[in-house]
Structure 1
Amino acid sequence: MAADPVPGTVPGSSDPGREYGGRVVAVEPGGNEPIPDAERHGRPRQLFWTWTSPNLEFATVFVGVLSVLVFGLTFWQAVAAILLGNGLASLAHGVISARGPAGGVPQMVLGRLAFGYRGNVLPAGLMTITSGCGWFAVNSVSASFALNSLTGLPTVGCLVVIVLVQVAIAFFGHNLVQAFERIAFPVLAVIFAVGAVIVLTHFDASAVPADGGGGGIGGFLLTVGAVFGYTAGWSPYAADYARYLPADSSPRRTGLAAGLGMFVSTTVLMIVGAASVSASAMAGVTSENPATKYVGVLPGLLANLTLLAIALGAVAANVLNVYSGAMAFLSMGFEVPLRRARAVVAAAFGVIGFVIALLALGDAAAGYEGFLLVIVYWIGPWLGVVLTDMYLRHGDIPRELLYDRGYRNHAGVIALVVGIGVSVPLFSNQVLFTGLVPSLLPGVGDIAFFVGTALAAAVYAALFPRLSASRKR
């Protein structure tokens, strides 16, 4: 591993080669170093579309579909679970995003405060796998199915096109990513809004799932967990897209724009997804292609536009996944001895993600439920540690520790491991593995993320005074 740049010595206004500023069609230089004041630009409100556009996609809709089709909830039970899960996740996302301008560094670099320099390799590694591989594959497959349904071209060919587009955008970096999300926002918003109105006027809110609406408290908690897992899955990226804002940007406006963009987009589309189950059944749509089944409720032209929007929305999501996956990888401290280190890593993740997506084409929907819950098993405890660390530090960011290789904070690592290690064996409820409590009390469902988050926060708060601060090698 090579040393990270230290604040004050990174390329900035004194480095003519960096000159990036607000240029859109330019490859973002550097890696995970702090953003110099001369490079800062933008306004907090831009985070609204940054976090709205990537959620205007079928993967969001399908979480709502799962709530009824798999977890056995009625429509109104699903709505309650969606509101709760998204409310909690969006609140956390807003709070974390608010630190971005003051920190000026990627989210996983900020995470070093809670986990230490080397201890941060654990959450950064988990995020690298989750975003650069897992979410990349999920969204690429979703977009490929939509293009296949729209054009009739082979799904593999559609996958190649989708991957090339999203990797190209992520390769150029922050400014092009932000510009793409801004342009995609009105297009996606209008198409999905019109489709949502039609679905919500052609479904039966009193319809009962095939199992008689027997999801109960277990199904409700499973839905909350899946919803929280989907939305909170963006939180480890939060500061990545706020760090270029001027350092004196309002934390309140920054957090509000990010949190609202997240909450509005995910909540509306998940509710539409829950409604689409009865709407597609009433319309007699029986396709095995989940995207085709969803648009089967819509009239011809709108159906085609929605399929195009599904593909565009998946690209909007994956440019963030590839970009932030690369940032997380660099935050682990690995040496990439290139001036355009982030861009090169982003391209490499595109290749890896393509291979995983190709393997997932055969059974895309089967593992989505499990994937959402597995994500929340680590993100819940991670949030517990990070939010508690922010509270205990009163929001201060000791920048001298962010790139200090000797800085250790064992409290964070221990709390994360305990949170995951206790909650998963005892409270998880997966197809491949059922924890002790759900085995004895099946009606409980999966409450691993509730327990993991609370336990990690409590352990960190207890250990922080003894195992953190300025302990160094």
Structure 2
Amino acid sequence: MTESSRGGTTPHTPLPTSSESATREGAPEGVVVREGDYGARIAAVEPGGAGFIPLGQRHGRPLDLLWTWTSPNLEFATVFLGVLAVAAFGLTFWQATAAIVAGTLLGSATHAVLSARGPRYGVPEMVLGRVPFGHRGNMLPSAINSVAGGVGWFAVNSVSGSLALNTLTGMPKPLCLAIVVALQAGVAFFGHNLVHAYERYAFPVLAVVFGIASVIILAKADVGAPAPDGAGTGGIGAFLIVVGASFGYAAGWNPYAADYTRYLPSTASPRAAGLWAGLGVFAGCTVLQIVGAASATLGGKALADPTGAFTGHLPSLVANLTLLVIAIGAVGANAINIYSGSMSFVATGIRLPLPVRLQRALVAGAFGAVGLVVAYFGLDDAGHDYEAFLLVIAYWIGPWLGVVLADLVLRRGVWTARDADARVDAMVFDVRRRSWAGPAAMAVAVVVSVWLFSNQEKYVGIVPSHHPSFGDITFAVGFVLAALLYAVLRKVPGFRENG
């Protein structure tokens, strides 16, 4: 939008129409504006879909993003990634710590860059993705993200939360799963404001209990011990696998970034929004992954019974409180996963025969139902399911990030120009716009990087099968390859954008 329409303080007023694509007075022609009155209300269902948030509906502070992004990482999947570094891949505690910090720092930095765009452009992350991917081509990452977040991450975290509740209460696992899923889907159904509120109020509870548990585990841990017997071979290969897994875990939030900053006032500092969002991801991921690595030095059935093995090292009261906050943390993580998964689905442009005002909310409910089924079948093999999912999530995010960040660099004149708002609007909201360089670069990079460099239980690529010391650098290769391909293809006839 123009500086006058986005930078002013007068809210847009609705035109007399109920269409999702209706614009509001003062908004340039063709801009899709999120309809309905929502404001800062918590006990209200967020209306509309993936449109621009009117200035009069903006609220919040950049600082709020600290707990919005710390809370969903204070959960057991974070701990388990640290456990894997030692128990599955054979790293020592200090090697695991170095790999965790390196990978998480990279994923948090990219999260900060993407989060910073929310206040200015007022649309979800996957809508901004239409700039490098085009309107139709953007369906590729949007569809993948809707499934990865709304179903994949949802199922993984639901299992950890339900297993913790089962251990704490003794209730049947399916019942525990149903309770956890109902809470998660309920928060996501109501939408943006309730998600933020949940993370804010859960934060002190999660921080205090996990903080106490972390102190106890770290005090008991044998940080100078060699890797446990029966673990992986360790070495540089294992180190690179853990770097990639830690990056993938932190960067797994990247496709959601602007979803949680687009409601900030347009006058909010982009730098502050990015800083607090990135710091939240880094703090939550790093601390609990390191604690997980420390717990693996204490022995126990870390892979066969992940939750029980971790809490088994704690005094009874602290163990029970930890089980409770594992369930609370799972709800916080999955509220974000379902919400952004449904937002990504809406961003694909697929129209369902549902009321437009409730389409996002109803899609969130549907993801909850599908995720419930997937999680149910993962209850009895949680350790291996965690491992398989956590280690491959970066395979598509690396190439997607390569395209998005390369576009920010190559198109920096557009993003920083005085008329940047209007020029970006034209690329985001023009349904006729095509840019096949983005989806082509991403697709090729995913296939080639996995084929050559994947190093997982289900598939070992050509390079690590002959040279195991390479570990798993799939995410790095995918990122670089996608960025280079995009830079070249965007100038090739047939791939260059038409608008």
Question: Which TM class, normalised by the smaller chain length?
Answer: over 0.9
CA distance in structure 2 between the aligned counterparts of 1:381 and 1:315, rounded to whole angstroms: 29
CA distance in structure 2 between the aligned counterparts of 1:60 and 1:361, rounded to whole angstroms: 18
Unaligned ranges ≥5, structure 2: 1-18
- Paired residues for 1:257-272 under 5 Å: 257-272=276-291
Contact 2:87 2:302 in 1 (8 A): no
**What is the CA-CA distance between 1:140 and the residue it aligns to?**
0.3
Segment drifting more, 76-85 vs 294-303: 294-303
CA distance in structure 1 between the aligned counterparts of 2:284 and 2:378, rounded to whole angstroms: 26
Equivalent position of 2:4 in the other structure: none
Change (3 A) 1:5 1:108: farther
Q: Which amino acid aligns with 2:262?
A: R
The correspondence for 1:429, drawn from 432, 455, 475, is 455
**What is the CA-CA distance between 1:458 and the residue it aligns to?**
1.2
- Paired residues for 1:78-227 under 5 Å: 78-209=96-227, 210-211=229-230, 214-227=233-246
CA distance in structure 2 between the aligned counterparts of 1:211 and 1:374, rounded to whole angstroms: 23
Segment drifting more, 174-183 vs 387-396: 387-396
Change (3 A) 1:470 1:385: closer
Q: Which amino acid aligns with 1:137?
A: A
CA distance in structure 1 between the aligned counterparts of 2:469 and 2:42, rounded to whole angstroms: 52
The correspondence for 2:267, drawn from 226, 248, 261, is 248
Equivalent position of 1:408 in the other structure: 434
CA RMSD of aligned residues (A): 1.8
**What is the CA-CA distance between 1:372 and the residue it aligns to?**
2.0
1:76-127 CA-partner distances (Å, limit 9, x unpaired):
1000100110010000000000001111001100001010000001101110
Equivalent position of 1:363 in the other structure: 381
Change (3 A) 1:470 1:3: farther
Aligned with 1:201: secondary structure? helix
Change (3 A) 1:285 1:220: closer
Contact 1:381 1:456 in 2 (8 A): yes
Percent identity among equivalent residues? 55
Change (3 A) 1:212 1:325: closer
CA distance in structure 1 between the aligned counterparts of 2:474 and 2:302, rounded to whole angstroms: 34
Q: Which amino acid aligns with 1:267?
A: T
- Paired residues for 1:346-385 under 5 Å: 346-385=364-403
Equivalent position of 1:295 in the other structure: 311
Structure 1 residue 49 corresponds to structure 2 residue 76? no
Equivalent position of 2:10 in the other structure: none
Equivalent position of 1:73 in the other structure: 91
**What is the CA-CA distance between 1:74 and the residue it aligns to?**
0.5
**What is the CA-CA distance between 1:307 and the residue it aligns to?**
0.4
Equivalent position of 1:462 in the other structure: 488
Equivalent position of 1:313 in the other structure: 329
CA distance in structure 2 between the aligned counterparts of 1:434 and 1:263, rounded to whole angstroms: 30
Change (3 A) 1:239 1:139: same
Contact 2:453 2:463 in 1 (8 A): yes
CA distance in structure 2 between the aligned counterparts of 1:3 and 1:332, rounded to whole angstroms: 14
Equivalent position of 1:274 in the other structure: 293
CA distance in structure 2 between the aligned counterparts of 1:4 and 1:230, rounded to whole angstroms: 35
CA distance in structure 1 between the aligned counterparts of 2:450 and 2:32, rounded to whole angstroms: 41
1:277-308 CA-partner distances (Å, limit 9, x unpaired):
123x2xx6789532121011111111111000
CA distance in structure 2 between the aligned counterparts of 1:212 and 1:49, rounded to whole angstroms: 35
TM-score by length of 1: 0.95
CA distance in structure 2 between the aligned counterparts of 1:5 and 1:442, rounded to whole angstroms: 56
Unaligned ranges ≥5, structure 1: none
Contact 2:342 2:367 in 1 (8 A): yes
**What is the CA-CA distance between 1:367 and the residue it aligns to?**
2.5
CA distance in structure 2 between the aligned counterparts of 1:367 and 1:167, rounded to whole angstroms: 21
- Paired residues for 1:303-342 under 5 Å: 303-336=319-352, 337-338=354-355, 339-342=357-360
Change (3 A) 1:179 1:368: same
TM-score by length of 2: 0.90
Contact 1:429 1:438 in 2 (8 A): yes
Q: Which amino acid aligns with 1:241?
A: Y
Contact 2:303 2:383 in 1 (8 A): no
The number of residue pairs the alignment matches comes to: 464
**What is the CA-CA distance between 1:4 and the residue it aligns to?**
5.4
CA distance in structure 2 between the aligned counterparts of 1:286 and 1:226, rounded to whole angstroms: 18
Structure 1 residue 229 corresponds to structure 2 residue 254? no
1:148-181 CA-partner distances (Å, limit 9, x unpaired):
1100111110000001111111110000110000
**What is the CA-CA distance between 1:414 and the residue it aligns to?**
1.6
Contact 2:115 2:257 in 1 (8 A): yes
Aligned with 1:333: secondary structure? coil
Contact 1:145 1:289 in 2 (8 A): no
Contact 2:20 2:32 in 1 (8 A): no
CA distance in structure 1 between the aligned counterparts of 2:21 and 2:126, rounded to whole angstroms: 13
Contact 2:93 2:297 in 1 (8 A): no
Contact 1:3 1:405 in 2 (8 A): no
CA distance in structure 2 between the aligned counterparts of 1:285 and 1:466, rounded to whole angstroms: 54
